[in-house]
Amino acid sequence: MKLWGGRFTRTTDRLVEDFHSSISFDRRLYRQDIAGSIAHARMLAAVGLITPEEGEAIIKGLEEIRADIEAGRVEFDVGAEDIHMNIEKLLTERIGEPGKKLHTARSRNDQVVLDLRLYLKEEIPGIKKLLAGLQKVLVDLAEEHINTIMPGYTHLQKAQPVTLAHHLLAYFEMFCRDQERLDGCLERTDVMPLGAGALAGTTLPINREMVARQLGFKEISANSLDAVADRDFVVEFLAAASLLMMHLSRLAEEIILWASEEFGFIELDDAYSTGSSMMPQKKNPDVAELVRGKTGRVYGHLMGMLTVLKGLPLAYNKDLQEDKEALFDALDTVKGCLMVFTPMLATAKFKVERMREDAERGFAAATDVAEYLVRKGLPFREAHAVVGALVLHCLERGKSFYDLTLDEWRSFSPYFSEDIFSHITLEACIRGRDLPGGPAPAAVKQALERARRILATI
């Protein structure tokens, strides 16, 4: 008979049993479930709801079950539905009557959210560490490429020259905000729900603070209904994970573009590329493409979880069982992407000369020319119009700024003088942007110092 089957007269239909069971995926919570049960048993013994001997038997039995699970000696029972009832069933089979007392003052409703909070508390620091590893690669590459000039883009059109270091550090900043979001999620996950019971707590004299201390929670939940009914901490993690994956996907997209013959900015290591079964010449950036694709998978889990929660009345509803597969898969996906993306980027070779050549093509110095005229005293809007006319002049004649004579410059404005030629070099364009947050080498060096300080704190 089911552990909850006292008021039922018929057994559960086999199809319902399979549909209802979550042991196929929530089995990964066994360590958290056993840890929570051990803390709960210690508390029950401390407040006199079970004897010290019963508490010791329960704890010893749970520790043995944990060892057996880790050794692969446990076969979980679909009929026992979930990890909680599987472990309780195993415990009762091993130690008898004391095992039946473990669930005193506890519901699966508060037990499952306890396990999930414990699990996420353990997983977030691991993701932060993996992300920090990627950030370190970005910083290392930026230090190597402080003077590597490349075109900066808007609308995927050449806009202004920047440095590769500056470009890479943009992603470092994005990932810093992802780290902060993970920190915030961890803080709000660190709340102990056990004691909320099914929805309204218990009349038994339990000590919630004792359990929280044992399990390392900073506080206990303030409302029993809220404790078992919401999964906003799961949604918050999925949202943070989605933003992290979005940033990772954008970098992946740029790597995909840069690895193409059309750009030719980067050469990916053979270990992180694949070929074609038909076209022998191909070298495909499949790792980056998969990361880009898996981003949508994490987005889907976020939208799925929001949809599950949006119509639930208080308190617990079985719909909440859908939280685990979404969370587990998102965690696995983010970790897997970070684990393969970081060495892919670390082993890539940047084609410095090709980047510079591409930056020289087009009119990336156009804004610098307009600002040159502003420094000479021309209003910016007039300067903008002058440079626009200059660009049109060049396009009609197949020229670049570097091909113009001083007379041609001056035919568009008397403000141009001989020094214009020193202002339109790529080095001058980069060096002139020596402001906090800018791409000039001096500014980038300051940004790198800041980045190293941040990494030391993660």
Q: Which residues have a catalytic role annotated? A: 155, 276
Encoded tokens for 125: 């620091």
Residue with tokens 């359990």: 211
Compute the distance between CA of residue 126 and CA of residue 117 in angstroms, rounded to an integer: 15
Long-range contacts of 260-265 (CB under 8 A, 24+ apart): 263/358, 264/351, 264/354, 265/150, 265/350, 265/351, 265/354, 265/355, 265/358
**Three-class DSSP labels, 50-95:** CCHHHHHHHHHHHHHHHHHHHCCCCCCCHHHCCHHHHHHHHHHHHH
* 3-class secondary structure, 364: coil
Q: Which of 232, 14, 28, 193 is nearest to 108 (CA)?
A: 193
- Compute CA distances 279 → 129, 218, 284, 415, whole Å: 39, 58, 11, 56
Name, in order, each residue with C-beta under 8 angstroms of 102's C-beta and a sequence gap of 6 or more.
37, 40, 41, 44, 58, 88, 91
176 C-beta neighbours (distance < 10 Å), count: 18
Compute the distance between CA of residue 143 and CA of residue 444 in angstroms, rounded to an integer: 9
Exposure pattern of 70-90 as b/e (b: 16+ CB <10 Å)?
Answer: eeeebebeebbbbbbbbbbbb
